[in-house]
Structure formats: C-alpha cells, structure tokens
Amino acid sequence: MKRKINVSLLIHLVFLLVFFCKQSTAQPISPKPKLLVGIVVDQMRADYIDRYWSKWTAGGFKRLVNEGYLCSNTHYNYVPTYTGPGHASIFTGTTPAVHGIVSNTWYSRADKRFVYCAEDRNEKTIGSPSKAGMMSPRNLQSTTLADELRMASQMHSKSIGIALKDRGAILPAGHTANAAYWFDDLTGAWVSSSYYMPELPKWLQEFNKDSTALKYLKEDWKTLLPINQYSESIADDNSYETLFKGETKPVFPHKIADLAKTNGNFAILRTTPYGNTLTRELAIEAIRKEDLGKDDVTDFLSISFSSTDYVGHAYGPLSVEVEDTYLRLDRDLEILLNTLDKEVGKGEYLLFLTADHGAMLNPSYLMANKISAGVENDSLMCDSLKKYCLKQYGDSLVITYNSQQVYLNHQALADRDLSLSDVKASISEYMLTMKGVARVLDTQTLQPSEAGSLVNCVYKGLYLARSGDLAVVYNPGWVEFAKTGTTHGSGYDYDTHVPLLFFGAGIPHGDTSERVEIVDIAPTVANRLGISTPNGTSGKVIRALSK
C-alpha cells in the first residue's frame, strides 16, 4: 500500500537543510577593530610615495604599502582644494556642496565679514590665555565618521582629533567628539576649546609641562641624511624658496634657535619636521592615557600632520626641505605604527592615510623650464574688478575676491537697479581678458556636468549661502600668491591627486588603479565598521574593500 507524501513537511525539511548548510559554510563575521585611526598628511602629493621609495624605512610608508591596500588613483572631486574643505570631505564622505566648508575662510553676507571655517566666538580657549581655542565644528553641516561611530555605540566610543592646525583637529572629529587638540603658538602647548571641555585633562596638563616643543626650539634643522643623498630634489640653494626672517639663503642648516625670535617663537616649529614629531608624540600619549582601543567598543583617533603643508608652502615640492620633512615623517609613522601594534594589537586597529590636497610645482621653476605658468594676486584682482565696475556702473559693486570667487554687493546692485545676471556676464567677459584666467562660471546657474571635469569640480564645491557669485578657473600652472614655494587650490591633478592607503584589521593586501574619489573613504570605512555612513555622504564604497 502506497503512503501519501506530506509535501509541506518535505519542503520544510529541505528549507531547514539548506539553511543549516549555509550556516555551516558562511564566513564568520570579523570582529570590529578596537580603534579607527584616520591620518591626513597635509599637502602630500600622490607621487611622493614613489619619489622617495628608496629612502623609506621598512616600517613607515613602505609597511603601509606592502601590508595594506593602495588606491593609487585617488582624487578630490571639487574645488577649491584647501585644508578645511579637504579634512571635512575626507571624514564626511561628501563635498562642500553638502558639508558647507567651502574654503578655509569665506565671506558671510549676513555678518558682513569673513568667517573662518572652525571659528566660534561663543567658545573660549582651554589651556592657554590666547584666543587660539575660540573654535568648534559648528560650521560643519553634516556628520563625520566619528559622529556616526559615537552614535552607533550610544556615545561609548571615544573620539579625539589631533593636529597642529585647529581645523585639522576639529573637522575630522566632528560634532560629538570627546576632544580636539591643536598647537598654540603663544605658549608652545596643546590647547582645546570650551566646546569640548571645561579644562584640559590632567594627563595633557602634565604632557604640556614636559613638552618637547622648547627642546626643538633650541635645535638646528639639519638634514637627516648627508645632503648629497637628496637626489630627488633640486639644489638646496635656489631662488624658488622662501627665507625665514633673518636668513640670507634658504639652505641647510636652518638655525631654529637663532631664528625663533623673529619668526614667531614656537610658530617657527610649524615650518619644520619637528611640528610633525610633536604631533606624533601627542597622538601616542592620547592613545595611552585615554586607553584608546582597549575594549570592544571601537574608538576613533584622527591625526593630521600639518608641517608638511607649512614646509611645502615655503619651499615647494622639489626642495630638499620637503624631502627631509617626509623622510622624518616616515620615521614618525614607523614609531606610531609600532606603538599601535603594542598598545592596541596587530590586526586590532583599522587605519587609513590620505592627504587634504596636493600642490603645484613652483611657477617660477616651471617658467624657467619653458612651461606655461604664472602667479595671480587676490588683492590686485579684486582692485582691478572694483575699478572696472566703477567705470562701467559708477559703483565698485565687488565686495571681495576670495578663494577664486567674486562676491558682489547685491544691495548696491538693487539700489542702482542693475541686473545681477547682466553684471555677472560683463565681469566674466572682463576677467577672461586677464592673464591666467581660463573660465569664469556663474555659481547660481551652474549645472553638474561630466564627473571629474573642472566644471563639475566647481559645482561640487559650491554651498551657495557661503559661496560667491562667480567662480574663476585658472589655466594649469597658475596659482595665487606663490612666487616662492608653492600653493594649491585648483582642480588639476597636481592638486587633486593624493595618496590613499588602508591598513590593519581585515584589510587585504593589494592595490587598484581604478579612480577613487576622496568622498569614498567615509562610506568604505563605515561599511567595514558596520555603522551608518555620515548623513551627507555622496561617495561610494570602494569595491575591493567592501565587507
């Protein structure tokens, strides 16, 4: 006698069998890293990785490349490429069009004054009698990775930002940070803001008392290696470099002790490799004293090495000074990585390293080598525009020219019954007659275009409440205020192309030459941590690093 088959029971048994098979073969979920470390090297060009490769130690940049994952084609996708917007974009995963940090400073029509990206007049300095701590992240319009990490852990994660520059410490750590610390030129100490705390923690007070800043103020800056080994740089004595006040030639050794008094005392350390070493020393002290990465809740530490930017601005990318600064930074990174291995554990921390922008070769050097280049002066540009408008309309009409943008006086236009669009068209036509100007774009009518194009970079850099009326695009090789040394800010590769390295917990060894944009860092890290992306994120997860 045939038995009837219970089809429903059979389907149920098959489903359970498949489920348990999948469970048994599924890869275990990797534990979350105990510490997230975000490192920004201020003004680091992507080509420096290869340029100085033969001189790197095994434990610094080489270790990050040889054991980590290198994204060799990483770019900023907006302009201007400055420090404030760069740090904000790395950690928010979006551009100034969303996070609002359009430049280091911008003109506020409401306040009728320039606003600094991290300023906060309602806060006071903690740790010094100076005004260096009147800062906060309130101008930042979106959350950061650190904010999302803190909220995902019900605020149990610790979040700390460290940099010589206040903006380099404040913007990465975000709104909910436990602390941000930066260097005070008046006292040579590390300070903070009342936004974060009523007083410095005891460990930092003690650290400031024992600070090595005074020690470095008494040391000459000599090359780490014999100077004839700096074959990646041009001659030490050249006309493209800036002098410290009191120097007659921009050559080694730089006698810091003799020069300090006429160069801002402790401020001079910013334009030496010692500023980076001071930063590394504080970062290690914070790791130890704050017990970062000591439990199962992921903590956050951002470190911005700012001296590379100061040295770069003064001497330019081809200088012995820049090369020496990077060779010393490489040693600082080795010490930092070894400390993380010891204090947190190998494979227990997730680290990424990138830069907030690159830099152009000195325009005078380019011209000496028959390459088209030049220097534009903001003040002269603004004066020229005002004179043109005064002649054409009987009123200067221009409030300011700042960060490659023209701010017009809307009230003056209304009083004279002038059409804003007509005036902008007239000014644009006039500016196109100026040397070095390639394009002038109307910010109010600008539309997105091909990804990666200069026009699209301008579009993504606009936050209209803070941006000007016209945006200027210079020709390649043209910069503002860089007769010696260098500067940055454009949408060309020399400013947008930066290194990007991922290292540590769960990161595979490898590399990619596929285009990656700076806004992809935050969503990639959020994906690996299993947390929400920052609330303004416009980037995407890097495919090879997705969890």
Find out whether 411 and 110 touch, Cβ atoms under 8 Å: no
Exposed / middle / buried, residue 10 (Cβ in 10 Å: 0-12, 13-18, 19+)? exposed
Q: Which of 446, 476, 506 is the last residue of a domain?
A: 476
pLDDT in tens, 81-131: 999 999 999 999 999 999 999 999 999 999 999 999 999 999 999 999 999
The answer, yes or no, to whether residue 411 has pLDDT greater than 50, is yes
Query: How much is the pLDDT for 138?
Result: 98
| pLDDT > 60? residue 527 | yes
Claim to verify: residue 209 and residue 137 sit in the same structural domain:
yes
Work out the number of other CB atoms within 10 angstroms of the CB of residue 326.
26
Residue pair 527/541 in contact (Cβ under 8 Å)? The answer is yes
Region 442-464 average pLDDT: 94
pLDDT tier, 26 (very low <50, low <70, confident <90, very high otherwise): very low
| 12 pLDDT higher than 70 | no
Active-site hit among 74, 81, 83, 537: 83
Same-domain status, 443 and 347:
no
Per the CB < 8 A criterion, the answer to whether 301 and 287 are in contact is: yes
Same domain for 470 and 402: yes
Q: Which of 417, 441, 476 is the last residue of a domain?
A: 476
Residues 194 and 337 in one domain: yes
Q: What does the pLDDT look like over 246-280, one tens digit per residue?
A: 999 999 999 999 999 999 999 999 999 999 999 99
Residue 403 and residue 360 in one domain: no
Average pLDDT, the chain: 94
Q: So what's the pLDDT on residue 108?
A: 97
Q: Which residue has the higher pLDDT, 26 or 304?
A: 304
Q: Count CA atoms closer than 13 A to 543's CA, side-chain side.
A: 5
Please, what is the angle between helix 83-92 and helix 166-173, to 10°?
20
Alpha carbon distance 302, 90 (integer Å): 11
d(CA 49, CA 36) in angstroms, rounded, equals: 23
Radius of gyration of the chain (CA): 26
Q: Are residues 83 and 219 in the same domain?
A: yes
Catalytic (active site) residue 433: no
Give pLDDT, residue 28: 43
Give the closest residue to 302 by CA, choosing from 200, 133, 132, 174.
174
Does position 5 have pLDDT exceeding 50, yes or no?
no
**344 in the same domain as 210:** yes
Kindly state whether residue 19 falls inside one of the protein's structural domains: no
Q: Which domain holds residue 453?
A: 374-476
Say which range, 1-10, 93-102, 212-221, has the weakest mean pLDDT: 1-10
**Token pair 């700096």 is at which residue?**
230
pLDDT at residue 8, rounded to an integer: 53
Q: What is the pLDDT of residue 480?
A: 86
CATH assignment at residue 386: 3.30.1360.150
| pLDDT for position 30 | 55
Instruction: Tell me the CATH number at 353.
Output: 3.40.720.10
Instruction: Let me know if residue 483 belongs to a domain.
Output: no
Tell me which of 476, 500, 526 is where a domain ends. Answer: 476
Same domain, yes or no: 399 and 504 = no
Query: Once rounded to an integer, what is the mean pLDDT over residues 165-174?
Result: 98
Q: 507, 77 in Cβ contact below 8 A?
A: no
Same domain, 360 and 248: yes
Tokens standing for residue 273:
């490799």
Ramachandran bin of 546, using left for φ above 0, alpha for ψ from -120 to 50, beta for the remaining angles = beta
Place of tokens 């979006």: 94
- Which residue type, as a one-letter code, is found at position 2? K
Reported confidence tier of residue 29, pLDDT bands at 50, 70, 90 = very low
The percent of residues above 70 in pLDDT, for the chain, comes to 95
Domain membership of residue 184 (yes or no) is: yes
pLDDT in tens, 501-525: 999 999 999 999 999 999 999 999 9
Asked whether residue 394 is domain-assigned, the answer is yes
Compute the 3-state secondary structure of the chain and give helix, strand, coil in percent, each to the nearest 5.
40, 15, 45
pLDDT at 18 over 80: no
Mean pLDDT of 469-477: 97
Q: What is the pLDDT of residues 427-446, one digit of tens each?
A: 999 999 999 999 999 999 99
What 3-state class would DSSP assign to 511? Answer: strand
Specify the number of domains making up the chain.
Answer: 2
Residues 158 and 122 in one domain: yes
Flag the least confident range among 23-27, 187-191, 354-358, 472-476: 23-27
Same domain, 331 and 396: no
Q: Which two tokens stand for residue 313?
A: 């601005």
Confirm whether 105 is domain-assigned. Answer: yes
113 domain-assigned: yes
* Three-state secondary-structure class, residue 527: helix
Whole-angstrom Cα distance, residue 465 to residue 442?
14
Does the residue 3 lie in any domain? Answer: no
Note the pLDDT of residue 6: 55
Q: Tell me whether the omega of the peptide bond preceding residue 253 falls within 30 degrees of 0, making it cis.
A: yes
Task: Extract the tokens encoding 44.
Answer: 């680091």
Note whether 466 and 513 are same-domain residues. Answer: no
* 331 inside domain: yes
